Structures are given as C-alpha cells and as structure tokens.
A and B are shown apart, each in its own frame.
Chain A
Amino acid sequence: MNELRRVEPALRAARDAGRKLLVPYVTGGLGDDWCEVVAAVAAAGADAIEVGIPFSDPVMDGPTIQEASMRALDRGATPSSIIAELSEVDAGVPLVVMTYYNIVFRGGHRRIARSLVEHGVAGAIVPDLPLDEFFEWGRAADDAGVETILLAAPTTPDDRLAEICARSHGFVYGVGLMGVTGERTSLAASATTMAKRLKAVTDVPVLIGVGVSTPEQAVEVSAEADGVVVGSALVRRLLDGGGPDAAAEFVGELRSALDGMGTTAP
C-alpha cells in the first residue's frame, strides 16, 4: 500500500542536499504492467512520479502521449481505476497525477481531491486550468491537502509568473518551449530562459518539462533549473514494447547524468 508523501518537502530536501530533481511521467493504465513501471521508475532514481490520467482530447499533448492516452482508454482505464491501482504501488516517492480539467470538473472538485489524498496521491497537474480559472479547484485541493502544481509558459509575463509561483505547491512546472509535449532533437533556448526567469522569482522547486528528451538535455537545462520532467521520451519506450526494465534503464541514465553534474559542479 502506497503511503502519502508530500511533494514539496521531499523536493526541497533533495534540492537543498545538492541533488538535481527528476520527475518522470507515466501514462496511467498503459499496459497491464503500468504499476510495475511506476515502481521501477521510482527505484531507478525518480524524486517524484507524474502519472497521467488519460483524457479523450489532450490538447497539450503531442502524438506520443496522445497515442498512450488512447491505448489506455481503449484498455478501459478510468480515473478511479488508475487512482485505485496507484494506491497499491509502493513507490516510496511522492506521486502526482496529471489530467485535464473536464475529468476533475465531471468527477467533482471535492470528490476528486479527497480521492487523491485517500489513495496516497499528493499532487495534481491540470494543464488546461490556468490561474484565472483556478479558484474552484484550488479551494477544493487546499481543503483536501492536495498540492496543485501550476504551469508557467515562455509567453507568461513577469508579473503573472510571480503570481503563478505564489499559488503553485509541490513545484513549479516551467514549460520549456512553445508547443505540446513530445521529444525534440535539441533543447530549446526558451527552456533555459524559462528556468532562469522562474528561479529569479521563486524559492519553490523549479522543474522544466516539455521538450526535455535526453540525459544531455536534462543536464543542460538543469544548469539553471532545479530539475526536469521527462514524459514523451519515456512513454515512447513503453509504446515501443518496453516494460519496467526498459523504463528503469532510461530513468537510470537520466539519474546518472544529473548526479554526474552534481559532483562536477564548482
């Protein structure tokens, strides 16, 4: 049985101990062994894990996570089945879910928030719920004790960036480029800029995701950021037939690269 572990205290402690943070993303319900993938990824060095609850119309996601979402839905995955199965995983690291707002709205803000906490899930990411529409979910999440991670984008103006950081719990998710999730051959310059801008206004852990696909890119952006979220590059390995071992191997490579940069830092 998974026990609830808070995201922000864990990430702050790791960061303050000199560790770069790694949060892999796994689509919930993708394959029979998806819970084993979560456990394997945790054991391979994740500091927290983001689990996607698939939605029929994922507008922030590129082809890889769209495909994974459709496969999971075709297998009959539902929000409650994913949350329930997740509660059986002994990950040993904090868990957060990522889903789109209609799943939360339809499920009921308070019911979903309570259900997450009861099943040992500490946080939530809702990419189509910007600050301006956040109030109703924010209140339900705060009351239930769910940490909601907000996204900041390269187009976000400075004053709004500070507001987002003030309202974000767990970490701040800096979107590394203008675009949807997916692998890129090189790190966008906007990723480093995003990290610098966020670090200048907040003490909350700053993680960069979207377009961070390789150990090299993770290291490059973590020169400024506290760490990275890696999704499509991991999910593609699962779509290609890889299981817990392949997932752990890739996450292990990311971990080693990030740890290597810690020891060689001046």
Chain B
Amino acid sequence: MAALAEPSPDGRFGEFGGRFIPESLVPACKELEVAFRAAWADPAFHAEYEGLLRDYGGRPTPVTECRRLSERLGVRVLLKREDLAHTGSHKLNNVIGQSLLTRRMGKPRVIAETGAGQHGVATATACALFGLDCVVYMGEVDVERQELNVFRMQLLGAEVIPVSSGSRTLKDAVNEALRDWVANVETTHYCIGSVMGPHPYPWMVREFQRILGEEARTQCRALLDGRDPDFVVACVGGGSNAAGTFAGFADTSARLVGVEAAGGAAIGHGVPGVVHGMKSYLVQDEVGQVNEAHSISAGLDYPGVGPEHSHLSATGRATYVTAGDAEVLDAFQLLSHTEGIIPALESAHGLAWVVRAAGSDDLPSGSTVLLTLSGRGDKDVAQVRDLL
C-alpha cells in the first residue's frame, strides 16, 4: 500500500485501524462509508466543498517565510498558516466536508467531541451555516481551561455538555459522544474531529484535511524554486493536521515528522491497543486500562492517536517525536516575539521540536522546514498568562 493511500476494505492501514464498535453502530459506519465514497467521487461535491472552503473558510491559507526565526535557528522555517482560516484552525476543512455529508444522508443532528474547543467551535460554525442541531461534548477540565471557546460554541447555537466521567478531558468526551451516538444514530451524525475512530473516519478525515497539504506543497515549490522542503513537521494529538499535511508530501522526498505532547504520546510511550473504535498505539497499563493523558494543551491531551500515524511510524515513512510543556511554552513566546504570530499551544509543540532539533543531526543547519501552524493562540492566551 502506498503511503497515505486508501485503507484496505476492512479499514486497515497495515495492522492498524478497523472498526471496533458496538453492533448498534456498525450500520451507521457502513452507511457513512458508502456516502463518503459516493461524495468523494462526485465532482459536484468537490465543487461545493472547495467553494465553501474558499468563499466561507478563507482558503487557500498562505505559507509564511519566517525570516527572523530562521536567522535565529539556522534552519529555514516556512509556516502553513491554518491559524488564518475561518474559526482559527484547520478544523473547518473537516467539518465542512462532514456537514455536507450529513446533509446528503438526511440527518438533522450533529454531535462532536472537543478538547481545546477548536473542533467544537468549527462544528458549531458549520452547523449554524447548514442549519443543523449541534451538541458538543467537552471534558469538565477543558470546559474550565477553555471557557471562551465554550461561550463561542454557545454563541453559534450549539449546546455544550460538560463531561464529568473519567479524566474529564478529550478521551472522556469521545466516550460520551459515542454513547449519545449509540442512542441517536438514526437521526444523528457523529462528526469526529480527528483522524481517529472506526473506519471510515481516519481515512475520511485525512481526505478532508488533504487540501491543506496539497496547498502547502504547491506553495513551497513556488517559494523554493520548484523544490520540496527537507522536513515537514506537524503536531499530533489524534493527528488530523499532520495527516492532511503529510498527505500533500507523501510522494516527495521530504522527511515527515509528527510531534506528540510528552504527556500524551501514544506512539512515543504507548503500545498497540484498541479504543474508540480503532486499533492504534495507545497509552495504557499492563492489563489494558487506558491511562489519562496530561498535557498543557487540551487538544493533545489524548492517550491514543490516529491509526494511520501508527502505520506511518511502523513503516518508517514518518518519524514521531515528543515535546514537553516547558519547551512548548518557550516556543509559544518565541514565535510571538520573533514573527508576531501567536500560535495555538498544540501547534507550538511542532515548533518546540524544530527549536530543539535545529542544528543537530535530526535537523541539520541549512535545512528547509515546513511547519503546519494548525491554529492560532488566542484561545490559549489566558491560560499561558497564568502559567508564566
């Protein structure tokens, strides 16, 4: 199987992926797969999807050359500016696609999970645009640390339900969304926010995020006299911005690097397991209980990872590294000072690795790096103020 191609008929990327879900949800996943295949082969669907992302979402987002940062690090840094897209992150690409599918399937209600709130805000936005009922599940811990995003979702007409079970973060929000879906599957589409969950979600969400990687490749070639960057870097929680970015560069010679949060590093610290419908790397104990993640970034506070990333790691096509909270806070401030861009804490993980690795064998001086800036940091400013 070529890297970042279609998964096998049973939804596998190598040994990872699949559809490990209660019987009640199997027909809905099959229905979704059929709907997605038909839509993705339909030029009219592409025209509407791409038209909305252009006229409503503000695409294409630019690639920005970071002159002062590059001078300081000794590597040439280009940023793919998803922070400039409508709602402030790459998440809208996916939810516009899934909302169009929801309409095609004739379902009036959408549910979503959210960690940092970016996917919840994007889902609430798309539901407002399409006139769909919207319920967002969010862990109580995240409701507290991302209170402005909660209000944004409410302003957009969504109902936000705080989740008080388990670790009260993203993992538990997914559990609660799945429970809602089991009860309401006939009227409800579950709009999963990352390249995770049962087949076809990991594949479908990657395809809806492919647009950012394909734009970036074209933009990089224009800036680099037809060459591709030496390194392509993105942060990885579930891994949707990384999957979309990597999809644009799969057939180039660029080295692909995913950066996980040290406190939620499924590939870095986990072993294969099965949760939330998929087989993938998972941070868990010796008998299979899932561990709670602990990261400064609500969006990366997740013990699992999308199954295709597990496969890309296993085959060596991509490399996965980690970044810790302290160096992430430094990177957050560095980009703000040197380039006038305040990154999301999630995106700052990618930058933290670039800062640490620049000049080493892992990222030699003089290299060119494309880093996907998956979102803007406005949502994190209050939290960072308290942490500094």
Q: Which of B126-176 contact A (CB under 8 A)?
A: 165-166, 171-172, 175
Instruction: Check B275 against A102 for contact (C-beta < 8 Å).
Output: yes
Instruction: Check A105 against B274 for contact (C-beta < 8 Å).
Output: yes
Q: Which residues of the partner chain B approach A57 to less than 8 Å between Cβ atoms?
A: 166, 171-172, 175, 275-276, 290
Contact of A60 with B by CB under 8 A: yes
Closest 6 CB pairs of A and B: A106-B288, A179-B183, A153-B24, A56-B289, A153-B23, A102-B288
C-alpha gap A133/B18 in the complex (Å): 8
User: Per-position contact with A for B265-288: 1 when CB-CB < 8 Å, else 0?
Assistant: 000000011111101001010111
Which residue of A80, A132, A160, A179 contacts B10 across the interface (Cβ within 8 Å)? A132
Contact of B376 with A by CB under 8 A: no
Choose among A66, A73, A150 the residue with the greatest number of B CB atoms under 10 Å from its CB.
Answer: A66
Interchain Cβ contacts under 8 Å between A and B, 13 examples: A56-B166, A57-B172, A57-B175, A102-B284, A105-B279, A106-B284, A128-B20, A151-B22, A155-B185, A156-B23, A160-B26, A178-B186, A180-B182
Contact of A164 with B by CB under 8 A: yes
Known: A102-B290, A106-B286, A155-B26. 7 other contacts (CB 8 A): A56-B289, A105-B273, A105-B274, A128-B21, A153-B26, A156-B27, A164-B23
Q: Which of B1-39 contact A (CB under 8 A)?
A: 10, 18-28
Given contacts A57-B290, A130-B22, contact A102 B274 (CB under 8 A): yes
C-alpha gap A107/B371 in the complex (Å): 39
Instruction: Check B26 against A105 for contact (C-beta < 8 Å).
Output: no
Contact of B253 with A by CB under 8 A: no
Q: Which of A155-169 contact B (CB under 8 A)?
A: 155-157, 160, 164
The count of residues in chain A whose C-beta lies closer than 8 Å to any C-beta of chain B is 41
Q: Which residues of the partner chain A approach B252 to less than 8 Å between Cβ atoms?
A: none
How far apart are B172's CB and chain A's nearest CB, in angstroms? Answer: 8
Contact of B179 with A by CB under 8 A: yes
Instruction: Check A106 against B273 for contact (C-beta < 8 Å).
Output: yes
Q: Which residues of the partner chain B approach A234 to less than 8 Å between Cβ atoms?
A: none
Contact of A244 with B by CB under 8 A: no
Q: How large is the interface on B (under 10, 10 to 19, 20 to 34, 35 or more residues)?
A: 35 or more
Contact of A92 with B by CB under 8 A: no
User: Per-position contact with A for B182-205: 1 when CB-CB < 8 Å, else 0?
Assistant: 111110000000000000000000
- Number of A-B residue pairs at CB separation under 8 A: 114
Instruction: Check A103 against B288 for contact (C-beta < 8 Å).
Output: yes
Instruction: Check B289 against A175 for contact (C-beta < 8 Å).
Output: no
Contact of B121 with A by CB under 8 A: no
Instruction: Check B166 against A175 for contact (C-beta < 8 Å).
Output: no
How far apart are A100's CB and chain B's nearest CB, in angstroms? Answer: 8
Q: Which of A20-77 contact B (CB under 8 A)?
A: 55-60, 62, 66, 70, 73
Q: Which residues of the partner chain A approach B24 to less than 8 Å between Cβ atoms?
A: 153-155, 175, 178
Q: Which residues of the partner chain A approach B185 to less than 8 Å between Cβ atoms?
A: 155, 178
Contact of B178 with A by CB under 8 A: yes
C-alpha gap A106/B291 in the complex (Å): 14
C-alpha gap A156/B26 in the complex (Å): 8
- Least CB separation from A79: chain B residue: B287
Instruction: Check A129 against B26 for contact (C-beta < 8 Å).
Output: no
C-alpha gap A58/B182 in the complex (Å): 13
Instruction: Check A155 against B275 for contact (C-beta < 8 Å).
Output: no
Q: Which residues of the partner chain B approach A145 to less than 8 Å between Cβ atoms?
A: none
Instruction: Check B19 against A133 for contact (C-beta < 8 Å).
Output: yes
Q: Which residues of the partner chain B approach A104 to less than 8 Å between Cβ atoms?
A: 288
- Least CB separation from B167: chain A residue: A56
Q: Which residues of the partner chain A approach B272 to less than 8 Å between Cβ atoms?
A: 105
Contact of A101 with B by CB under 8 A: yes
C-alpha gap A107/B27 in the complex (Å): 29
C-alpha gap A129/B20 in the complex (Å): 5
Q: Which residues of the partner chain A approach B284 to less than 8 Å between Cβ atoms?
A: 102, 106
Given contacts A59-B178, A156-B27, A180-B183, contact A101 B287 (CB under 8 A): no
Instruction: Check A178 against B183 for contact (C-beta < 8 Å).
Output: yes
How far apart are A159's CB and chain B's nearest CB, in angstroms? Answer: 12
Contact of A262 with B by CB under 8 A: no
